[in-house]
Amino acid sequence: MSGDDVWLIGAAMTPFGRFPDKDLIDLAADATLEALADAGTTMADINVLALGNVYEANSHNGQRLQKQVGQTGIPVYNVVNACATGATAVRVVLMSIAAGESDIGLAVGVEKMGKMGMIGGAAKPAAEKKVFSPKGRYGSVLKTEGVLGTGLMPGVFAQAGTEYALAHGVTATQFAKVAQKNHAHSVHNPLAQYRKEFSLAEILSAEMISYPNTLPMCCPTGDGAAAVVLVSGTRLRTMDPDVRRRAVKISASVLTADPWSESGQVQPDVNTLTRQAADAAYDKAGIGPDDLDLVELHDCFATAELLHYDNLRLCEPGGAGDFIDSGAPWRDGKTPVNVSGGLLSKGHPLGATGVANIFEVATQLRGEAGARQIEGARVGLTHVIGLASACAVHILEAGARR
Amino acid sequence: MPHQIPVVAYLRLGDPPHLTSAACTRCGALYFDRRNACARCFATDFTTRSLANEGTLRAFTFVGRAKRPYVSSVVALDGGGVVKANLLGVDRPEQVTPGMRVVLDTFVAGVDDEGTEAIAFGYRPLDGAPGGGAENDHGGTR
Ligand SMILES: [Zn+2]
């Protein structure tokens, strides 16, 4: 436990799903109080708070949360960063600790989406204009969605998938196998929004949302929250032996945005920033893809997960189709991926997702994941990416060997 | 012939219709929209370039959950520029092949109350359209 390291000592998440009788702050408070209890601490100790939320981001939810769990005057950072919002909140706390401004902090991610329909789906069409006139930076005279291709999330991630498929010969069935795996994994996770297994045939014959992704290959919308408590290595040394024994080291925390690319202006490139984040994280942690005991990656659509096998260097370059065929990312495979059920089945309340992934990996590294435990897991990686784009990768390691 | 207007300013309805792009005068990076500075090299001077009408299909998806199902595609144009538009005259995913060559085509995307037609563009397979080409469609698979 070097004084420079940052450690996780508390983690919690609410179940993901639809909770009409809880408001946004109820969900955030549930995760917060549970994470604080898990860490054996209270708001009295916390030096810094970061709260991630997307859809109500202008409501200063960090301060609203303090009013429900404890107002101690500490600084609050309200964070929004696409689907990397929660992970960015974690990183804000980590940076505050690394900068020496704080030695114990709380990061919370929360979202209440209810039954919004498909993630990033079409908005209600506006009333037709009477007279065409060019508007905006593209000089467009009407809404171009569906006229000049699609820019909505299901279509963007579908096209990212077919680009890889055309280049490397991946089939629609191989993409569907990703969803088959994650839905099967979710059966073991009591916190998952859906816990229903699907056969490959059921997935392939379901409603086509945006080829090759059928309905069970698209993540649902929902409500949920997750929270983590982080401390400096120096502070950790002063803490109770039980807290130290369960502490998980944050060996790397990396955030990236899109570098310029020729095609990026018309079709977001979800690959390059993920590769750059992963490579930087492996370098920082001194850990390679072969060292990972599990990965929680951003499977907002089945096509996305397959691409990220390659982007996170889990498979041979161009070999993501073979990787899923081999069974490697199943929970009994070489590199278990999304043993929580992933976004496809566990759910994707946007702001919570990047904290919930860290909760999952930390819980596994502590050996406390119950029926979904990967035996002997010591090292794990989390990945989130949101269009804009923002990508966060964290590498976590179990503490002293038990 | 009714009055026509392009759906976006980077489509020019000349003979033949073609795309234009802002091009960074320092590094040549292409942008369909107005930019304050080049995202690649940070220069602030731009010129206008005409782009090729032919290119290679890079990505596609059949959008199912829409009022009129259609095919979206990403096309890498010969000589530079990458564009997103509907893929026309293709009915099934199996008809799309790696390195598929396509060519620009236009269609009427809407008509306003003064009878002005908004003209959009898409791409058709270059060597014999596999699905046959309906005029003025969205590339739909009805
Ligand atoms: Zn430039």
Q: How many alpha carbons fall within 13 Å on the CB side of residue A103?
A: 11
A12 vs A27, A32, A339, A343, CA distance in Å? 11, 7, 17, 17
- Residue A236's DSSP bridge partners are none
B63 closest CB neighbour out of A141, A150, A266: A150
A3: tokens are 């004084």
Is the CB of residue A277 less than 8 Å from the CB of residue A256? yes
Round to whole Å and give the CA distance between A264 and A273.
11
CATH of A6-117+222-250, one of 3.40.47.10, 3.90.190.20, 3.40.50.720, 3.40.50.2300: 3.40.47.10
CATH of domain A153-216+251-395: 3.40.47.10
pTM: 0.94
pLDDT tens digits, one per residue of A239-279: 999 999 999 999 999 999 999 999 999 999 999 999 999 99
Residues within 5 Å of ion ligand 1, judged at the Cβ atom = B 24, 26-27, 29, 38, 40-41, 43
For residues B93 and A211, give the distance between their C-alpha atoms in angstroms, rounded to a whole number.
8
pLDDT at A172 over 70: yes
Task: Please answer yes or no on whether B7 and A263 come within 8 Å at the CB atom.
Answer: no
State in Å: Cα B32 to ligand 1 middle: 14
Residue B58 Cα, gap to closest chain A Cα (Å): 6
Beta bridge partners of B125: B102
CB atoms within 10 A of CB A112: 26
Per CB-CB distance under 8 Å, the chain A contacts of B31 are: 265
Closest-CA residue of A relative to B65 is: A209
**CA A81 centroid distance within chain:** 12
> In which residue ranges of chain A is CATH 3.40.47.10 found?
6-117+222-250, 153-216+251-395
The whole-number pLDDT of residue A226 equals: 98
Q: With a cut of 80, say whether residue B128 has pLDDT above it.
A: no
Rounded distance from Cα B46 to ligand 1 centre (Å):
8
Tens of pLDDT, residue by residue over B35-56, are 999 999 999 999 999 999 999 9
Identify each DSSP E strand in A212-287 by its residue range: 213-214, 223-232, 248-257
User: Which positions 155-194 of A are in contact with B (Cβ < 8 Å)?
Assistant: 155, 158-163, 166-167, 172
SS3 A171: coil
Confidence of residue B139 (pLDDT cuts 50, 70, 90): very low
Best residue of A128, A129, A147, A210 to probe chain B, by most B CBs closer than 10 Å: A147
Interval between CA B104 and ligand 1 midpoint (Å): 27
Q: How far is the CA of B10 from the centre of ligand 1 (A)?
A: 19
> What's the mean pLDDT in A371-398?
97
Residue of A nearest to B73 (CA): A149
- Measured CA to CA, the distance from residue A222 to residue A225 in angstroms comes to 10
